[in-house]
Structure 1
Amino acid sequence: MFNIDNLDVINGKSRDNCSYSFVGIKRNTDTKRLEFWLPLNFENFPINDKKEIRVFFFKMYKTLKVFINRKQKTSKQKKNDRDGIIQSSDGLKISYTDKDDVICYGKISMIESIIESYDEMIISSIVRKNFQRENNIDFSNINKHIDKAIYLEDDTIYIDKMPSHLSIVDLSANLLVEMYCFIYSEIKKELFEADEVREDVRYIAAKFKEGHLTSSSSIFGESFDETISILKETLDYIHRQTSYKDGDFWLFFDAIEMFLYGEYFPNDNSGDFWGVSNFWAIWEDMCHTYSFSVNADLRKTIIYADNGTNSNYKLENNKSVYINKEVLHENIFYLEYQGEKRYLYPDMVRYIDPLEEARRDFEKLINLQIKKNSNTDKITIIIEKNDNIGSDRFTNTFIDRLNSHVTKKQSKKNQKTRFDNYIMAIFIKEKENRIQSIALKNKHEFIIVDYKYHAISHYNSENKKINNDIVKQHVYELSIKTWHKNNDQTSYNHQFCVPVFTLSQDLFPQTEQPEILSRSRIELVCVNFSILQELYIKNGIF
């Protein structure tokens, strides 16, 4: 196992300026040291804080596991798609139909060997069998062992060792399980999953630590070298002392051996140790997960997405995309030349219907409460305005009109009438009138989003790649205009979304807009990677 605290962290301008999209751990071919390559736009990451590095490493481990699990699930559901996952001894290779890239994912075998070997039944079985051995002593034959006894001052005898009549696994197997449980518990703690560890496993792990380590011993942290050294010595002792090694023994022994001695892939000439070769795929999946699984309001506005996980529409080339059939009914993103269609794949397109948007805003801004005084039967109308949303479209005039209706009605009716039903009917009517008037003033809006895994500095100067990306955005817009006809009352907004590391708690921190994008009506949107990562892990299949 490598010491995470000794990794060389690669981030900042030198990392952002290169076109290398690998994220993970690799060995430097010159220095032979292990390097932790962070994602792009991580120049503000605290690289001198060893704890933060360790926390981020395990979050990245979980992030990549979520991505692989999602891709494997999608691959099983869509057996006819060309997208594929190839399993190898080193990890996985994921191919995409519409991109030339192949995503290479290298497993971190040391950790995965421990997690994948976890078997509650085998652990319980070995511990229970050895507990039986310690407590099943045949006292009827104690006279045969008097010669081995130690006579104590109170005239009692003490026999240190007495063979059991049960033929079961050697006690060294129990020690092996204890060491496995200790390593497993340490890993789960770093993954912020300590609460998932069973109580008996925690007890076994604590027993091993108490008997062989110190209270400050840890696999991850300052005591790494000392702890790993003791674990290696203990494993060697178990190997030498165990005469009978069954399948259960080798299950845990091999896992621990891989954890302690495994380091890198001997057949990998690139030097990549663990991670993904092209991080853009993970970044896109993180953004799609937020849009479809986390933000319910945002999902309602999505009409198209190049998202295999949520796809519901198969194109003629067998590629699957997501289409909101209530709005689009069919795929509109293609170019046709000489009878042949060439499909376009915007990452996401949102449609903001002014009527629906006004209705949603109204519900957020206004809350009607009808209170009746039991003594006087007087009705009070309370309309709460949510100041956090901030809007001047709903004024006191609206409240005054409601009150005027109530006053007129009260003058004609006795105190016993159903004022509350009348008020609610008036409220609904006034609300719809207000929503309609607002909707007429607003335009239909399309937001065309492209998830970009680029450094922000990438947009400081013009180049062929940027020009092609800009052209594609406006071709997407042209496809919508051809379909949507109502061009005079329609606005088109374009967004490039890039990841950033920031200590801010804002999901979309502000950034200076590059001139080359501003000229093309494209907004550069920075997305807080840490927040999106937390949501991705929380909603992932892991």
Structure 2
Amino acid sequence: MINFNSLQLVVNNKYSFVGIDKQEQNLRLCLPKGFNESKSTLDNFDSKRDLFFLFYKILTTFRSICVEKGYLDDNNQLTNDRDGFLKTKIGSSIKSYQEDNENIFYYKIDILGKLLDAYNEPKILSLASRLGKQDKFDLSKIHKYLHQGIYLSNDAVYIDQMNFPRKVVQFQSNDIVTMYCYLFFEVKQQLKETTNPNIISLAEDFRERYLNSPDSLFDENSYESVLNVLKDALETINNYTVLKDADYWEYYDAIELFLYGDLSQGEEGEIWGINNFYTVWESMCLTYLTENNDLSCLLHCDTRYLSSKTLDKLQASEKVIDINNVFKINGVSLNPDAVLFSSKNSDFIQQTTYEIFITDWDNHGYKTQFRYDNGFNIYKENESIFINTGYLNQKKEVYTAKILERIYSRKDNQYLIINSSLPRAFYSFWDIPKIINNEHLNLMSYLNHFFYLALESKVFTWNTFCERILKPLNVDINSNGDFDEYNVFTRSLFRDRSAQSIQNEFEKFITQILNNQKPLIKIIDVKYCDSKYFSDPNNKKENKEKNVRKQFIYEYSLQKKLNKLFSTDSKPEIQSSFWIPDYCPDDPNLFRRNYDFLDGYIELNKVNFLLLAENYIAN
């Protein structure tokens, strides 16, 4: 069992090991780069406990990817001596594309892994069952219960219960199982994962009979006392259990290693963790990119450490720009981490106020239309825009204005004053003009026009638009290519328009955006470095030769391709971006940009480690 108080926190800027190691008889929790500034605030029991379990989940996710893709070579040495308690494993190595970049998982004492691997829900519930009394009767067997009956004055016999086999959770025997359930539930709580209620019942029964307190094994104030009670309980259970079968020893060994496994007994060096965390950091960043962008816009991605499920989706996506073989120079293929196409539409959004007229048009109960009279330069004088609106769970006969006036004020009882974007439960649609300017994009953003949602989500193909924008809102298209006529929300927005006509409008809109709004292509390079590395003058030469020069080659190669695909006026801009780890637990934003780096020519993004980890673990 790990005593988190005894762990020293270190951030080693020369090596990439993350995990627990032993140096000069001291156990150290080695944190990733980017944690330096927060190290002092993390030096307490709770923080070190939470970080350990976070790294455990991250490494488990990464290891499962490596197993799935056949990268893992197991070099395990397992000692299973019941006279002792130390079970040792050296670890597993990851097949590397470069001989000097060997990756090794270390788990010389796999305390958590053995406990979690022993979980077998059907077996646990089966071992926790017994013969129980039931209220039903079998008259063919009544002669076996006459001696238990109550004889009445009329010579009748009364029998209230019979014994039949039935599965019931029992709490008086087989304590090795309930003890395992208690430890399993404690660990699952720290991992923030759900547990079967039946397992929780067994765990709580063990707590009541042995601990009799709400104390936890992972609480600083009760850690030692609970650990001592559990060790005594394990000894008692082992002494009084007569029949010890294979199932018993499986749970006993897992519990014994968990309670008695002492990291300090290991030799000096890496005990648990991974020696090259940069591969994990790369996997975390690229998994985020694939899960949070339209894959048709992810023009290129290093797929070595992406799961097979993610890789299948990535390969199936149709790219908005084909850049195959772009990074092949003199027969050598270069491999940037990622190339992402995106629109710069957010640059056009400005704070403003719109007055939209509340019309009295009732289209068979769909009272959802507004009129915008201010007009744009691209429209003829005095021409208006008729805006269809809708909201989730919408009902007929209820005008959308009645709902929106709870949020926005009225003017002259005829106009709604829209001074901020509509809540995300509200959406709008209207036919876009032949030429779109920034003012029109601004109105689309304020009124949550469906096509603008596509820009926000970096969606540029119709199939992805249906999958990521329409489908989550239950906007379905039937086999005839029509929207559901009974869906009030859909009818309010699209009236009697076919899905094909909406698709045509969407594709015209996207074409305009790509040609006129000067989109951006980012070449992303995932760096496992501390931010101080880039600001240190001593690293200037190395940074130039190792990082910056490589980005220039990427940009030059991509620029030649774009020159063939776009005119000078519509050609996308290219920007290089470095992603580095940053520990900022109170920041809700994923990125913090350092504008001082190279005068902004290369974007240096500090990526919030905790937010990225949550995304990685969830996938």
Fold-level match, TM-score > 0.5? yes
- Matched residue, 1:445: 520
- Matched residue, 1:239: 238
- SS of 2:243 mapped into structure 1: coil
Using the TM superposition, give the Cα deviation of residue 245 of structure 1 relative to its aligned residue in structure 2, in angstroms: 1.2
- Matched residue, 2:432: 428
Indicate how the Cα distance of structure 1 residues 456 and 271 shifts in structure 2: closer, same or farther if over 3 A, else same.
same
Structure 1, residues 170-206: CA drift from partner, whole Å, max 9, x if none? 999611111111111111111112xx22222212111
- Matched residue, 1:55: 50
- SS of 1:454 mapped into structure 2: coil
Partner amino acid for 1:251?
E
Indicate how the Cα distance of structure 1 residues 454 and 329 shifts in structure 2: closer, same or farther if over 3 A, else same.
closer
Indicate how the Cα distance of structure 1 residues 105 and 375 shifts in structure 2: closer, same or farther if over 3 A, else same.
closer
- SS of 1:327 mapped into structure 2: coil
Indicate how the Cα distance of structure 1 residues 199 and 382 shifts in structure 2: closer, same or farther if over 3 A, else same.
same
- Matched residue, 1:333: 327
Structure 1, residues 195-235: CA drift from partner, whole Å, max 9, x if none? x2222221211111111113143211221122112212222
Using the TM superposition, give the Cα deviation of residue 369 of structure 1 relative to its aligned residue in structure 2, in angstroms: 8.8
Correspondences of 1:105-504 after superposition (within 5 Å):
105-107=105-107, 109-129=110-130, 174-193=174-193, 196-221=194-219, 222-264=221-263, 271-293=269-291, 295-297=292-294, 299-308=295-304, 309=306, 325=319, 327-328=321-322, 330-336=324-330, 341-352=331-342, 372-374=359-361, 381-382=370-371, 396-398=374-376, 401=379, 404-406=382-384, 427-430=431-434, 432=436, 442-459=517-534, 460-461=536-537, 462-485=540-563, 486=566, 488=568, 489-502=571-584, 503-504=586-587
Using the TM superposition, give the Cα deviation of residue 379 of structure 1 relative to its aligned residue in structure 2, in angstroms: 10
Indicate how the Cα distance of structure 1 residues 24 and 250 shifts in structure 2: closer, same or farther if over 3 A, else same.
same
Checking the alignment, whether the CA contact within 8 Å between 1:508 and 1:527 is kept in structure 2 is: yes
Inter-partner Cα distance in structure 1 for 2:257 and 2:287 = 34
- Matched residue, 1:529: 609
Partner amino acid for 2:260?
Y
Checking the alignment, whether the CA contact within 8 Å between 1:216 and 1:223 is kept in structure 2 is: no
Query: Which structure ranks higher in relative contact order (CA pairs < 8 Å, sequence separation ≥ 6)?
Result: 1
TM-score normalised by the chain length of structure 2: 0.63
Inter-partner Cα distance in structure 1 for 2:222 and 2:97 = 47
Indicate how the Cα distance of structure 1 residues 73 and 247 shifts in structure 2: closer, same or farther if over 3 A, else same.
same
Structure 1, residues 350-397: CA drift from partner, whole Å, max 9, x if none? 234x6xx669989xx9999996415899996446xxxxxxxxxxx954
Inter-partner Cα distance in structure 2 for 1:224 and 1:130 = 37
- Matched residue, 1:165: none
Determine if the alignment matches structure 1 residue 85 to structure 2 residue 72: yes
- SS of 2:42 mapped into structure 1: coil
Determine if the alignment matches structure 1 residue 41 to structure 2 residue 34: yes
Using the TM superposition, give the Cα deviation of residue 491 of structure 1 relative to its aligned residue in structure 2, in angstroms: 2.5
Inter-partner Cα distance in structure 2 for 1:100 and 1:427 = 58
TM-score normalised by the chain length of structure 1: 0.71
Checking the alignment, whether the CA contact within 8 Å between 1:63 and 1:536 is kept in structure 2 is: yes
1:518 to 599, 602, 608: 599
Query: What number of residue pairs does the alignment pair up?
Result: 443
Checking the alignment, whether the CA contact within 8 Å between 1:498 and 1:527 is kept in structure 2 is: yes
Checking the alignment, whether the CA contact within 8 Å between 2:378 and 2:435 is kept in structure 1 is: no
Checking the alignment, whether the CA contact within 8 Å between 1:22 and 1:277 is kept in structure 2 is: yes
Using the TM superposition, give the Cα deviation of residue 518 of structure 1 relative to its aligned residue in structure 2, in angstroms: 3.5
Checking the alignment, whether the CA contact within 8 Å between 1:507 and 1:527 is kept in structure 2 is: yes
Indicate how the Cα distance of structure 1 residues 234 and 379 shifts in structure 2: closer, same or farther if over 3 A, else same.
closer
Using the TM superposition, give the Cα deviation of residue 53 of structure 1 relative to its aligned residue in structure 2, in angstroms: 2.4
Checking the alignment, whether the CA contact within 8 Å between 1:496 and 1:523 is kept in structure 2 is: yes
Determine if the alignment matches structure 1 residue 7 to structure 2 residue 7: yes
Inter-partner Cα distance in structure 2 for 1:201 and 1:227 = 20
Indicate how the Cα distance of structure 1 residues 406 and 472 shifts in structure 2: closer, same or farther if over 3 A, else same.
closer
Indicate how the Cα distance of structure 1 residues 242 and 437 shifts in structure 2: closer, same or farther if over 3 A, else same.
closer
Inter-partner Cα distance in structure 1 for 2:186 and 2:94 = 31
- SS of 1:296 mapped into structure 2: coil
Checking the alignment, whether the CA contact within 8 Å between 2:525 and 2:578 is kept in structure 1 is: yes
Indicate how the Cα distance of structure 1 residues 74 and 218 shifts in structure 2: closer, same or farther if over 3 A, else same.
same
Partner amino acid for 1:248?
D
Determine if the alignment matches structure 1 residue 74 to structure 2 residue 69: yes
- SS of 2:174 mapped into structure 1: helix
Query: Could you say what the CA RMSD is over the residues aligned between the two structures, in angstroms?
Result: 4.0
Identity score, percent: 26
Q: State which drifts further: 525-534 or 487-496.
A: 487-496
Checking the alignment, whether the CA contact within 8 Å between 1:311 and 1:322 is kept in structure 2 is: no
- Matched residue, 2:472: none
Using the TM superposition, give the Cα deviation of residue 523 of structure 1 relative to its aligned residue in structure 2, in angstroms: 1.8
Q: State which drifts further: 466-475 or 456-465.
A: 456-465
Structure 1, residues 273-313: CA drift from partner, whole Å, max 9, x if none? 211111111111111111101x135x44221111233789x
Partner amino acid for 1:504?
D
Inter-partner Cα distance in structure 1 for 2:5 and 2:187 = 15
Checking the alignment, whether the CA contact within 8 Å between 1:349 and 1:448 is kept in structure 2 is: yes
Inter-partner Cα distance in structure 1 for 2:362 and 2:185 = 65
Partner amino acid for 2:376?
F
Inter-partner Cα distance in structure 1 for 2:340 and 2:594 = 22
Indicate how the Cα distance of structure 1 residues 10 and 140 shifts in structure 2: closer, same or farther if over 3 A, else same.
farther
Indicate how the Cα distance of structure 1 residues 249 and 371 shifts in structure 2: closer, same or farther if over 3 A, else same.
same
Indicate how the Cα distance of structure 1 residues 535 and 242 shifts in structure 2: closer, same or farther if over 3 A, else same.
same
- SS of 1:197 mapped into structure 2: coil
Checking the alignment, whether the CA contact within 8 Å between 1:172 and 1:241 is kept in structure 2 is: no
Inter-partner Cα distance in structure 2 for 1:400 and 1:245 = 85
Checking the alignment, whether the CA contact within 8 Å between 1:402 and 1:427 is kept in structure 2 is: no
